[in-house]
Amino acid sequence: MATRKLLLLPGDGIGPETMAEVRKLIGFMNESHGAGFEIEEGLVGGSAYDAHGKSISEEDMAKADAADAVLFGAVGGPKWDSVAYDVRPEAGLLRLRKDMELFANLRPAICYPALSDASSLKKDVIEGLDILIVRELTGGVYFGEPKEIIDLGNGQKRGIDTQVYDTYEIERIAGVAFELARTRQNKVTSMEKRNVMKSGVLWNEVVTRTHAEKYSDVALDHMLADAGGMQLVRWPKQFDVIVCDNLFGDMLSDVAAMLTGSLGMLPSASFGAPDGKTGMRKALYEPVHGSAPDISGKGLANPIAMIASFAMCLRYSFDMVKEAEMLEKAIADVLENGLRTTDIAAPHAETVSTSEMGDAVLERFRSLT
């Protein structure tokens, strides 16, 4: 039996509440299907700070390094507002992303049929939607140097951020997008602004060359990122995989996410380079939402984003595609049966708690497998 090493980092706020629902699923898969998940647990964010004064310990960083995949809950909140910048809860997540070199951020936007009325867009625009945004996560304008505020001495200041991309960074993110497209509708749309940015010219050139050399079986389109934003809202179903840089990806993935629904529904994955020995990519899976301090500890959190992040983990880290699909179907079925946590419920509708939602997904998953 294969062992699959998973590190769970629930974090703080609603993180531990939603992670508890994933733990139930892992337990079930180990007991009934011999899935062989070997679980380690660690502290990150506020829970780590409260325990030992750091946002993540070296010991837990080592566990992340040894794991096949990391499941991350959420971190942050007003409780830790006054702690020093480099040990604040969010620093733990940034450290993980940086040390694991997670350069590819994947955010799917799918429409669950039962929630197709919940979008601000017309039903026929989003019904059946299933797109994937692949965002470059470790380069571009968020990291480029110089990055500073200069005092010009005449009562004026100058803020500077620098957009920098090297060929290898574009090649590797394009490679991830093309590989993923092959497992989906085989179509990639690359977005940049080559009309006004040199890095956009290079982006376009390298994506085009990478495509021609290695992935010519995949359909490739280019779109200017601003036009892409319009098209995402006008007719999102024209897309399959969208690949873009860090800044455009940040904005476009938020737009795409909100095409369909609540923050409590949205999973994400981040990948690093494949391991030289095993070929496996370092990966971290986490919901898009934060620690939701306003509802934490009340059993109100929607666990679906966390559970759907685990489904992504099954698909991408462990090649358990059938199980991932069944788990996603279990989520869709439970929604179809009318179960709602408060964030996705109509006003005055009956709602269920975090653990009731988790139990319902587990029950449905059990009956499907």
For residue 284, say whether it is annotated as part of any ligand binding site.
no
- Residue 98 Cα to chain centre, angstroms: 15
Distance of closest approach, residue 283 Cβ to ligand NAI, in angstroms: 15
Nearer to Mg ion, 130 or 250 (CB): 250
Q: How far is Cα 220 from Cα 188, in angstroms, rounded to an integer?
A: 5
Residue 291 contact partner, candidates ligand NAI, Mg ion, none, CB within 5 to 8 A by sort of partner = ligand NAI
Contact of residue 93 among Mg ion, ligand NAI, none (CB under 5-8 Å per partner type): ligand NAI
Cβ contact 331:262 at 8 Å = no
Closest CA to 191 of 251, 234, 127: 251
With contact defined as beta carbons under 8 Å apart, do 131 and 255 qualify? Answer: no
Residue 174, marked binder: no
Quick check: 89 and 12 in contact, CB under 8 A? yes
Instruction: Please identify, using beta-carbon distances, which residue of 101 and 250 lies nearer to Mg ion.
Output: 250
Q: Which is nearer to Mg ion, 250 or 325 (CB)?
A: 250
**Between 245 and 284, how does the x/- string for binding to Mg ion read (CB under 5 A)?**
-----x----------------------------------
Q: How many residues bind Mg ion (CB under 5 A)?
A: 1
What is the smallest separation between the CB atom of 156 and ligand NAI, expressed in angstroms? Answer: 31
Partner touching 250 among ligand NAI, Mg ion, none, CB below 5 to 8 Å by kind = Mg ion
Residue 88 marked in a binding site = yes
User: Across the strands, what pairs with 41?
Assistant: 8
**For ligand NAI, the closer CB: 35 or 70:** 70
Q: Consult the annotation and say whether 86 binds a ligand.
A: yes
* Rg of the chain, C-alpha, whole Å: 21
Residue 114 to residues 325, 327, 337, 361, Cα–Cα distance (Å):
17, 16, 8, 15
Partner that binds at residue 118, options Mg ion, ligand NAI, none, CB closer than 5 to 8 Å by kind = none
**Angle at which helices 198-214 and 167-182 pack, to 10 degrees?**
50
Is 345 annotated in a binding site? The answer is no
**Alpha-carbon span 118 to 261, nearest angstrom:** 6
* Contacts with 68 (C-beta within 8 Å, 6 or more apart), sequence order: 4, 5, 6, 280, 283, 317, 318
Residue closer to ligand NAI, measured from CB, 108 or 228: 108
In whole angstroms, the minimum distance from the beta carbon of 92 to ligand NAI comes to: 9
- CB under 5 to 8 A by kind: which of Mg ion, ligand NAI, none does 289 bind? ligand NAI
Closest distance of CB 100 from ligand NAI, Å: 15
Strands 104-110 and 267-274: antiparallel
Q: Is 83 annotated as a binding residue?
A: yes
75 binds, among Mg ion, ligand NAI, none (CB under 5 to 8 A by kind): ligand NAI
Backbone angles phi and psi of 35, in degrees to 5: -70, -20
Instruction: Just list the catalytic residues.
Output: 142, 193, 226, 250, 254
Does 90 engage in binding with Mg ion (CB under 5 A)? Answer: no
Question: Which one, 75 or 126, has the nearer CB to ligand NAI?
Answer: 75
Token reading at 185 = 């509708």
**Alpha-carbon gap, residue 248 to 139, rounded angstroms:** 12
Residues in the site for ligand NAI, rule: CB under 6 A? 14, 74-77, 90, 93, 263-264, 286, 289-295, 301-302, 305, 343
What's the one-letter identity of residue 238?
Q
Instruction: Write down the least CB distance from residue 345 to ligand NAI, Å.
Output: 10
367 in a labelled binding site: no
Query: What are the distances in angstroms from CA 211 to CA 231, 272, 279, 298, 300?
Result: 23, 20, 21, 49, 45
Q: Which residues are annotated as a binding site?
A: 77-90, 97, 107, 135, 226, 250, 254, 290-302
Q: Which residues are annotated as a binding site for substrate?
A: 97, 107, 135, 226
Q: Which residues are annotated as a binding site for NAD(+)?
A: 77-90, 290-302
Binding site for Mg ion (CB under 5 A): 250
